[in-house]
Chain A
């Protein structure tokens, strides 16, 4: 099985660094990861045009287009991509926006290791299913 292609979108370099380290840790024993990072929605969508991502973890509040928009676009381009919105926005209206955007998970920061591990596993299983079909 080739590496799981992961897209991390966060305009905070510190948060992206932290999240990548956590992801690497969560994926140990499950699969290799090929992680690409974007610091804006536009950059994320450009990367997604070239790479078929299996898992995308998106911040919502981004400069330019927000994470909701990116989520919608990613799901339209590749419905098998697991998209998780990782955000500090907690209102019901925000969560509804996430659901309307088609996200597979709406996670309030900070994400815990178990949840991250579950995301990686689900994406891995889905990617295996797609590859074998």
Chain B
């Protein structure tokens, strides 16, 4: 069978050896304290695994690696647990390649499906929670100008709680600005919105939802 075929033994051997090396690098990085540089290295590793798994038509491995690649690219510390889980799955997949037994492959496939469903559900939940915050911000900003001071403080409290629960980073300065405006009764929603849309990760989402709420 030519080397150009995804199932050639030469390619399979090369892939198995490469996967082993990459997973060892991955394990070392996941044992260290999470930092941006390590996240970037992990991104490269999973990107590589994804690429070669796709070439050799290992769909489950490629899919798991793609998930991990996306998580690592986000560079968020709370992805670490999921990355460790994916690493564990890929190590199982590697063992399956070494052993090359049909039963083990089926087990690894079903575990992959469970893993991917779990991560997708968690991400969907996180996305919907974050959407709820954007919507809440939009509504509260609309109400701020019409509300009395007591209502304004209640709004501030709601927004503060929501951003903590939904784990939206970089909101403290904005919340402090809002509090200052309420204290001095100098509500300036334009300024508040302008600052929100500068949010490094969710700027666009805020802009979109605030625009929707004001329609």
Q: Which residues of A contact B (CB under 8 A)?
A: 11-15, 17-18, 20-22, 24-25, 59, 61, 63, 88, 109-110
B55 and A14 contacting across the interface, CB-CB below 8 Å: yes
User: B interface, by DSSP: helix, strand, loop or mixed?
Assistant: helix
Q: Among the listed A15, A22, A24, A63, which residue makes an inter-chain contact with B51, where contact means beta carbons less than 8 Å apart?
A: A15
Among the listed B2, B11, B43, B50, which residue makes an inter-chain contact with A14, where contact means beta carbons less than 8 Å apart?
A: B11
Sample (14) of A-B pairs whose CB atoms are under 8 Å apart: A13-B14, A15-B51, A15-B55, A17-B3, A17-B11, A17-B14, A18-B4, A18-B55, A21-B2, A61-B43, A88-B50, A88-B54, A109-B54, A109-B55
CB pair A14–B47 under 8 Å, yes or no, is: no
A17-B14, A18-B55, A110-B54 are contacts. A25–B2 as well, Cβ < 8 Å? yes
Which of B14, B18, B48, B51 has the most CB atoms of chain A within a 10 A radius of its CB?
B51
- Shortest Cβ distance from B18 into A: residue: A14
B14-56 with Cβ < 8 A to chain A? 14-15, 17-18, 43-44, 47-48, 50-52, 54-56
For A59, the chain B residues whose CB sits under 8 A away are 51
Does B44 lie within 8 Å of A12, measured CB to CB? no
Give chain B's interface residue range (CB within 8 Å of chain A).
20 to 34
Q: Which residue of A lies closest to B14 (CB)?
A: A14
Contact A18–B50 (Cβ < 8 Å): no
Give which listed residue, A13, A15, A18, A110, contacts B3 with CB less than 8 A: A18
- Is the CB of B10 closer than 8 A to any CB of chain A? yes
**Of the residues B4, B18, B50, contact of A13 by C-beta under 8 Å:** B18
How far does the alpha carbon of A109 sit from the alpha carbon of B69 in the complex, in Å?
A: 15
